[in-house]
């Protein structure tokens, strides 16, 4: 190996060790100015925008240190088109696992239904199973709740 190449690889190794390896979006650590003090913060890998196989959009806007999740959901499909616009979501995470719930009522829609997703982060995908319960009269309770799966892929 030429000595210039050796120097390049030595430098690359040194930089990699100094910065703790290569890190993608997921768990990027950064130095943040907290009240004039440089503090190391770690961004949560759930944060961001995710799309599922139906074209629905899941936006996770905050994840607190103790695991509270907040964001918005826009569904690409709904019963008789009842769910239009954005719906708040709340959830809990214990990485890599996450659960979150959407109530399908907002200023422009009222479906009288809720969906709860439970899943886990696997690589760059959020693999979930959901339950959707809609209002029924008691004699129709047998058909009140659908169960299926959604896989979300990061879009930003």
CA 85, chain centre distance (Å): 19
Q: Is 14 in the site for ligand BTN (CB under 6 A)?
A: no
Q: Is 78 in the site for ligand BTN (CB under 6 A)?
A: yes
Q: Is 133 in the site for ligand BTN (CB under 6 A)?
A: no
Q: Is 103 in the site for ligand BTN (CB under 6 A)?
A: no
Q: Is 113 in the site for ligand BTN (CB under 6 A)?
A: yes
Q: Is 47 in the site for ligand BTN (CB under 6 A)?
A: no
8-state DSSP, 25: S
8-state DSSP, 143: G
Q: Across the chain, where does the E strand assignment appear?
A: 29-34, 37-42, 48-52, 57-63, 68-74, 87-94, 97-106, 109-122, 125-134, 145-154
Q: Is 75 in the site for ligand BTN (CB under 6 A)?
A: yes
**Of the two residues 121 and 130, which places its CB atom closer to ligand BTN in the complex?**
130
Q: Is 50 in the site for ligand BTN (CB under 6 A)?
A: no
Q: Which stretch binds ligand BTN (CB under 6 A): 4-12, 31-39, 48-56, 119-127?
A: 48-56
Written as six digits, the tokens of 145 are: 């709740």
Q: Which sign, positive or negative, has the C-alpha torsion 56, 57, 60, 61?
A: negative
Residues touching ligand BTN, count (CB under 6 A): 17
């Amino acid at each position: 190996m030429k000595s210039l190449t050796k120097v390049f690889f030595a430098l690359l190794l040194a930089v990699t060790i100094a910065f703790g390896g290569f890190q993608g979006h997921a768990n990027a650590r950064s130095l943040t100015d907290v009240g004039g003090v440089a503090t190391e913060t770690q961004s949560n890998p759930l944060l961001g925008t995710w799309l599922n196989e139906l074209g629905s959009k899941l936006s996770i806007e905050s994840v607190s240190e103790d695991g509270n999740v907040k964001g918005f959901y826009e569904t690409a499909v709904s019963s008789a088109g009842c769910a239009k616009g954005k719906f708040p979501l709340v959830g809990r995470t214990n990485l890599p696992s996450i659960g979150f719930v959407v109530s399908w009522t907002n200023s422009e829609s009222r479906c009288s239904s809720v969906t709860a997703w439970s899943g886990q982060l696997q690589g760059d995908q959020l693999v979930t199973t959901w339950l959707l319960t809609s209002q029924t009269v008691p004699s129709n309770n047998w058909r009140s709740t659908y169960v299926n799966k959604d896989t979300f892929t990061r879009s930003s």
